Amino acid sequence: MPLTALMAVVPMICVTLTGIACMMAEAFRNRGERMPIGGLGVIGLAGAGIAAGALWGQNTTSFGVVQADNFGLFVTIVLVVIGLLTIAFSSQVLERDDVPSGEYYALTLFGLAGMILMATATDLLLIFLALEVLSLAVYVLTAIRRDSFAGAEAGFKYFLLGGFSSAFFLYGIAFAFGVTGSTRLDRIAAVLTSRAATEHPLMLVAMGLLLIGFGFKVSAVPFHMWTPDAYEGAPAVVAGFMSTGVKAAAFAAFARVFLSTLEPMRAAWMPALSAIAIATMILGTMVGVAQTGLKRMLAYSSIAHGGYLLVALVSGNEIGKAAILFYLLVYGLTNVGAFAIVALAGTRERGNDSLTDYAGLWHRHPTLATLMTIFLLSLGGFPPTAGFVAKWYVFSAAVGSGDYLLAIIGVLTSVVSVFFYLRVVVMMYMAEGAAEVSRPIVGPVAALALAVSAILIFYLGILPAQVMTLAADSIATIF
């Protein structure tokens, strides 16, 4: 096989080989010896990002089922950014919580490899395999603190429900194969251009089962049950990683399958997806308001943001398609940063999960409180943050496609969500903290990563046009 035939999988190979290197470094490390294993992950992810940039515009294919089109490469770059931020925030937390760094970084990188494969796969079976690779890594990461009962419970629940959803997805693939005779997305699309195949009852069943599988991974209602427990029990940096990385990979495959391959069946899946989007936005917002724990609140916030992304997917116009990629980038920067502050503000004995734990954070650590404010305001959609622009594009796409109900509910739920974001801000600035709460210590690497995230949030909020144009050109390559 010529080397050019492997070009499309180079970013994934870079991440996978680095994960293996992290395992080897952990295996040969002496007890008590400190090794910069996270630095290996940074090198591997940087290599994947450079490879993605070098492949831009070439539309290369490997093995006939992995396509490095600009859409997949854009998502790959988003995942690289999420991975780099996660590693930067993890180094300090792993040492504090006595988590095996080699295992942690290896699992993170293997999960990222599965996410990259999921974003670039053009075959339903390969999407399923990529889904399982990333899922197994995230299951273990959720329960990586062996002394945490909550973590073990969260990992076990996530594993059981994840396996259940995978069965639905696999049955959907089987039904799609039964109707079309292939699992390749391009061949399925070619068969569906025939009206008879589009109206085949088994194809409708396949579409529904695939929708359930994707709905679980993007935390869409009513397939969201695992999300609050998994986020609450997992380490905060892991919760930030899976709330952004898994969502980015799942929505990439979701868009590739439904907006491109199943476009001839749009009349069948659009009403169902619209109903799911409405339920997801409403439940994520309304239940989030009632939460007293910050991680559970961010979990329901993640559910609501999944609903906004579904609105962009349902709209299906040019703005909506581009808004999916832009929103994933903005949400990745914002949510990883928010969960990072939750991790950095806590200790091994005290997780700082309750909202009252952030009372007086401005007096203990004004920089950390300021950064948390930026991230929460971006999640709430306040100008001039990137979160405001991302929501503006999503709701504009809904209005442009005539989905006025989706736009109205999206705006209303976004306004309501401001309450639980500002509640944390008020707590940090206007409430007095307990005297025994110590001042958080933030290392230089984590501080730099937080600063970069905040700067990018303001940059994308003030000058979004260039990235939005790039997103529009990228997603156009799958049509």
Within 10 angstroms of residue 193's Cβ, the number of other Cβ atoms is: 10
- For residues 107 and 41, the answer to whether their CB atoms sit within 8 Å is no
User: What's the average model confidence in pLDDT over 241-247?
Assistant: 93
Return d(Cα 303, Cα 390) in angstroms, integer.
Answer: 16
pLDDT at 352: 63
Q: How far apart are the first and last CA of the chain?
A: 29
pLDDT for position 161: 87
Q: What is the pLDDT of residue 339?
A: 92
Q: How confident is the model at residue 71 (pLDDT cuts 50, 70, 90)?
A: very high
Over the stretch 378-419, which tens digit does the pLDDT of each residue have?
A: 999 999 999 999 999 999 999 999 999 999 999 999 999 988
For the cut 60, the answer to whether the pLDDT of residue 342 exceeds it is: yes
The pLDDT confidence band at residue 28, using thresholds 50, 70 and 90, is: confident
Contact between 93 and 343 (Cβ < 8 Å) = yes
Q: What is the mean pLDDT of residues 439-447?
A: 81
pLDDT for residue 101? 82
Nearest to 326 by CA among 142, 78, 65, 156: 78
d(CA 107, CA 101): 10
300 confidence band (pLDDT: 50, 70, 90): very high
Least confident range of 46-50, 272-276, 329-333, 419-423: 419-423
Q: Judge whether 242 and 141 are in contact, CB under 8 Å.
A: yes
DSSP string computed for 242-265: IIIIIHHHHHHHHHIIIIIITGGG
pLDDT at 153 (0 to 100) = 87
Adjacent-strand bridge partners of 60: 68
Predicted pLDDT of residue 350 = 62
Give the pLDDT of residue 436: 54
Which residue is listed with tokens 């001039």?
Answer: 384
How many Cα atoms sit within 13 Å of 411 on the Cβ side? 12
Average pLDDT along the chain:
89
Residue 316 pLDDT greater than 90, yes or no: no
Q: Report the share of the chain in percent with pLDDT over 90.
A: 59
Identify the pLDDT of residue 224.
86
**Structural domain count, the chain:** 1
∠ CA 446-335-331 to the nearest 5 degrees?
Answer: 125
- Give the confidence band of 443 by pLDDT, cuts at 50, 70, 90: confident
Burial label, 447 (beta-carbon count in 10 A; 0-12, 13-18, 19+): middle
Identify the pLDDT of residue 122.
93
Question: How far from 167 is each of 140, 161, 213, CA to CA, in Å?
Answer: 20, 10, 8
CA dist 479 and 474 (Å) reads 10
Quick check: 262 and 274 in contact, CB under 8 A?
no
- pLDDT for the residue numbered 23: 87
Give percent of the chain with pLDDT exceeding 70. Answer: 94
**Helices and strands in the chain, H and E counts:** 21, 2
**Angle separating helix axes 70-97 and 318-345, nearest 10 degrees:** 10
pLDDT band at 348 (very low <50, low <70, confident <90, very high): low
Residue 32 has pLDDT above 60, yes or no: no
- Give residue 292's pLDDT band: very low, low, confident or very high (50, 70, 90): confident
Residue 51 CA: distances (Å) to CA of 55, 74, 121, 306, 467: 6, 12, 17, 29, 19
- The mean pLDDT value for 273-294 works out to 92
Measured in residues, the chain has a length of 479
pLDDT score for 29: 72
Q: Which residues pair with 62 in a beta bridge?
A: 66
Mean pLDDT of 40-63: 92
Q: What is the structure's pLDDT at 192?
A: 87
Answer yes or no: are the C-beta atoms of 85 and 449 closer than 8 Å.
yes
| 265-286 as b/e: b if 16+ CB within 10 A | beebbbeebbebbbbbbbbbbe
How high is the pLDDT of residue 435? 52
Whether residue 302 has pLDDT greater than 80 = yes
Three-state DSSP state, 98: coil
| pLDDT tier at 152, thresholds 50, 70, 90 | confident
Is pLDDT at 54 greater than 90 in this prediction?
Answer: yes
Q: Does the structure show a pLDDT above 80 at 347?
A: no
Confidence label for 2 from pLDDT (cuts 50, 70 and 90) = low
Residues 118 and 131: their CA atoms lie apart, in Å, by 7
Per residue in 163-210, pLDDT (tens digit) is: 888 999 999 999 999 988 899 999 999 888 876 666 778 889 999 999
Q: What 3-state class would DSSP assign to 66?
A: strand
pLDDT for 390 = 95
- Is there a contact between 378 and 338 (Cβ–Cβ < 8 Å)? no
pLDDT at 150 (0 to 100):
81
358: pLDDT strictly greater than 60:
yes
pTM > 0.85: yes or no: yes
Question: Of 104, 105, 89, whose CA–CA distance to 45 is shortest?
Answer: 105
Which pLDDT value is given to residue 35?
65
219: its two tokens: 């935390």
Bigger pLDDT: 362 vs 244: 244
Average pLDDT for 342-371: 79
pLDDT of 442 higher than 60:
yes
What pLDDT, in 10s, does the model give residues 250-280?
999 999 999 989 988 888 899 999 999 999 9
The pLDDT of residue 31 is above 70: no
- Radius of gyration, CA atoms only, the chain: 21
Closest by CA to 214, choosing from 277, 300, 136, is 277
Centre a 10 Å sphere on the Cβ of residue 207 and count the other Cβ atoms it contains.
20
Domain that holds residue 426: 3-478
